[in-house]
A = this chain, B = another copy of it.
Amino acid sequence: MAYLERTPDADVAYRGQSLGTRKPAEAQPSLCSFGAKTAQYRPHEVVYYEGDPADRIFEVARGTIMLFKLLPDGRRQVVEVLRAGDIFGLPNGSEQDCTAETLTDAKVNALDMHQVESSPAIQRQLTRCLVAQMQSLHEHAVLLGRKSATERVASFLMHLVPDRGTNVCVGPVDEANDSRQVKLHMTRQEIADYLGLTIETVSRVISDMKRRGLINVERNDEIRLNRVCAVCQLTGRH
C-alpha cells in the first residue's frame, strides 16, 4: 500500500459496472472531491481485517475488492465484490464487520468519519451508493438461497458482461456474433466462496458449460462466452 497525493480522481469512471444489477450511473463525485486520501494496493493486499477499528470510509477508485467474513472453523463467504465507485468500511459500531482484500491492483480513497458526518454532499453520495449496493446484496441473497450451481455460475459470468442480462438489456447488437470475453479477477476458490459453492462444483459447472459449447476457457482468468444470450438463459432469470 502506498499513500498518494490528494488528487481529483478520474478513475471512478466505470462506476456502475459492478457485480450486481446496478445501472450505469450518471457521473458522480468521488470521495476525492471531499478531500479523501488515496492509497494504492497490489493484488491480494488486505485493506482492513474484520474486527479492525472502523474510523474511515473507503471508496474503490480503481480495481476490484472483495469483502469476506470467516466462520471460526475457517469457512469463508465473500459477501461483496466491489468495483470503482463502490463504498465500503462504513462502521455500525466501532469495528469492521468484514475483511477487505484487493483482487487486482487497486486504488482506494479513504475519508475520516468526522468529515463524512459533517457533509450533506457526502451523505447524499453515500446514500446513493449504499442503496445500489443493497440491491446487489438482495440479488446475491436470491442467488445463494435459491439458485442451482449452474444458475449461480451463469449469473456470475453475466454480471461481468456490462449492460447485458439486466432489466434494461437490449440483447445482442449483432445476432450472428454475440460472443464476449470476460476477465474473472478471481480464483476458482474465490468464486466458490462468493457463490456459496465448493471449488469442485465451480470447476465441474465450468467444464460442463465448456463441453456444451457455451464458453471457452481462454486463460485461467479469462472466459469467452460464445453466445451471451445462451449463458443468460441459464441464470434462472428467464
Report A's interface with B, CB cutoff 8 A. 21-23, 67, 69, 71-73, 75-77, 79-80, 90-93, 95, 97-98, 117, 120, 123-124, 126-128, 130-135, 137-142, 144-147, 167, 193, 195-196, 236-238
Contacts and interface: CB of A to CB of B under 8 A. Distances in A.
Contact of A141 (B120, B134, B144, B237): B144
B138 A140 contact: no
Q: Which of A71, A92, A128 is most buried by chain B, counting CB atoms within 10 A of its CB?
A: A92
A134 B142 contact: no
B131 A196 contact: no
A117 B123 contact: no
A134 B136 CA distance: 11
A144 B123 CA distance: 31
B90 A236 contact: no
23 contacts: A69-B138, A71-B236, A71-B237, A72-B238, A75-B236, A76-B146, A77-B141, A77-B142, A77-B145, A77-B146, A79-B137, A90-B134, A91-B131, A97-B135, A120-B123, A123-B126, A134-B134, A134-B137, A137-B137, A141-B144, A144-B144, A144-B145, A146-B196
Nearest to A196: B145
A53 B139 CA distance: 19
B71 A141 contact: no
A195 to B, nearest CB: 8
A127 B87 CA distance: 12
B138 A79 contact: yes
A136 B90 CA distance: 13
A146 B92 contact: no
A60 to B, nearest CB: 16
